[in-house]
Amino acid sequence: DVCFVAETDGRIAGLTSVQLVQVAVTPGLSYGVLPLVAVSDHARGQGVGRSLVGRAINWLQERAAA
């Protein structure tokens, strides 16, 4: 599991947590879950959430999540 944090002007703008889940009945198969995506009021509408989700997807792809 990992957490990504975005900052703007030294302030936390948003964060996301990512979980890589292994499928117990199918060895080698995994999938990703983003249980939390949050963006601060001051950063909304600036693409912070999109950027965080993109980073999370890249992290999962690097680990070959389905």
Which has the higher per-residue pLDDT, 3 or 63?
A: 3
Reported pTM: 0.86
Q: What is the pLDDT of residues 37-52, one digit of tens each?
A: 999 999 999 999 999 9
Q: Which helix (H) or strand (E) holds 22?
A: strand 11-22
Integer Cα distance of 12 and 6 in angstroms: 6
